[in-house]
Structure 1
Amino acid sequence: MRFFLTTVAAILAATPMLADPRVIDFDQLPDPAALAFDDPFLEMELKDLEDLRTVVRLQERLDSETFDANTRNRLAAQVNEARKSLAQEGHDIEELLAARWEVAIQRKRAKLATNPAYDSAEVVLDGFLIPAQTGPDGASVGYLVSEIGLCSHKPSPPPNQLVRVRYEGSFPTRNLYVPVRVMGTLSTDPKDQTIFMLDGTVRMTSMWNLSAYRITVQGPVAETQIGQGAQGGIDPLAVVQGSE
């Protein structure tokens, strides 16, 4: 008997106790260190971003293409007017142009880098579950997002805020508009998958995998949020890169 009790005690001592799952939000998933960089473009007004884009694009055309005198003068005048407007708003144009590629690199890293504090952590995460194709092992696979209304016309979240969910069993709901709570083990596991939705296909690039052991429905269909799309405007990343 003593040997049995000693053996059980040894097994329990060697077995790590699972910590209580931590309730986290999507904005905690990116690596905080990757977010800590100077981005001078974020606080610029829309008009200033448009002027900066004019300078970048038209100057590139003037430097690389052949125009007749009238066209060249017209384009040069537009560049000068945009530069004048930016200078009047207190922007250092050359400094902005010099920083654009480094900012683009930092922004990309900020979208990909994962928070090491949650790698292999037991977590609870609330969101909206988008079912995907069943995995090769028969497990249910889906993607958890923070906001309702993802469709083929709306960009998916940044990869480090898009969570791939793997669940042994059937999802309790396959309705994209029903909030759910997912409990499981979170780990860094990059995946790039195209899934099919009612209105087309969506590319889902995720840096996280959540091996779920419990999924519960949190509430009714969020009718007031259905159909909300992405907001319009200029993407500052496209501006600083000088691309479409």
Structure 2
Amino acid sequence: MEEIARLYALSQANTSVDHFGAPSTQIGTFNVVEELIGETVRLPGFILPLDAQIAGNITEFLLVPYVGACVHMPPPPPNQIVYVLSDTPVRMERLWEPIWVTGLLTSDQTHSSLGSTAYTLELDGTEPYEY
């Protein structure tokens, strides 16, 4: 839970900084794959929580392509990060375990100190990623 609280505090900060306190700039594009917009998709990735709730439950998070993305600055390009929003809290066991997310994909952009996103996904469900 201490790690989740630290990540939540970072997401609420006004500036992005690296581990040494220096400003970190996200590079890349907001270009999206138009054919996927408005579709229900299934995507793999890692959870980076934006809200910290009791017992590891979260309702909003970034789906990132590798462990520690955004926390280990600079973040990936915006079109490689998906903002995920869930009406039902999702139980987060471990940050380093990959998952599958399924839901409706839009091109709504979001911005936080952890990084900006080119996509938003309204979550229908998650499942463990099997290697």
Normalising by structure 1, we get a TM-score of 0.38
| Structure 1 counterpart SS, 2:85 | strand
Unaligned runs of 5+ in 2: 1-26, 53-57
Return the offset for 1:209: 0.2
Instruction: Give the number of the structure whose alpha-carbon radius of gyration is greater.
Output: 1
Contact 1:163 1:208 in 2 (8 A): yes
1:10-25 → structure 2 map (5 Å cutoff): none
1:136-215 → structure 2 map (5 Å cutoff): 140-150=59-69, 152-194=71-113, 203-215=114-126
Could you report, residue by residue, the CA deviation over 1:122-179 in whole angstroms, capped at 9, with x for unpaired residues?
1000111111127xxxx70000011112253321110011100011222232521011
Percent identical residues: 25
Higher strand residue share = 2
Higher RCO by CA contacts (8 Å cutoff, separation 6 or greater)? 2
* Rounded Cα–Cα distance in structure 1 between residues aligned with 2:64 and 2:71: 14
* Rounded Cα–Cα distance in structure 2 between residues aligned with 1:163 and 1:143: 6
Unaligned runs of 5+ in 1: 1-108, 195-202, 221-244
Equivalent position to 2:48, from 122, 130, 134: 130
Paired amino acid for 1:186: L
* Rounded Cα–Cα distance in structure 2 between residues aligned with 1:216 and 1:132: 19
Paired amino acid for 1:212: L
RMSD over equivalenced CA pairs, Å:
2.4
Return the offset for 1:110: 6.1
Q: 1:110 to 1:131 in 2, by over 3 A?
A: closer
| Structure 2 counterpart SS, 1:120 | coil
Contact 1:130 1:174 in 2 (8 A): no
Higher helix residue share = 1
Normalising by structure 2, we get a TM-score of 0.67
Runs (4 or more) in structure 1 with deviation over 3 Å come to none
Could you report, residue by residue, the CA deviation over 1:53-90 in whole angstroms, capped at 9, with x for unpaired residues?
xxxxxxxxxxxxxxxxxxxxxxxxxxxxxxxxxxxxxx
* Rounded Cα–Cα distance in structure 1 between residues aligned with 2:77 and 2:87: 26
Paired amino acid for 2:96: Y
* Rounded Cα–Cα distance in structure 2 between residues aligned with 1:148 and 1:123: 21
Q: 1:187 to 1:142 in 2, by over 3 A?
A: same
Paired amino acid for 2:128: V
Contact 1:127 1:146 in 2 (8 A): yes
* Rounded Cα–Cα distance in structure 1 between residues aligned with 2:88 and 2:110: 21
Q: 1:192 to 1:151 in 2, by over 3 A?
A: closer
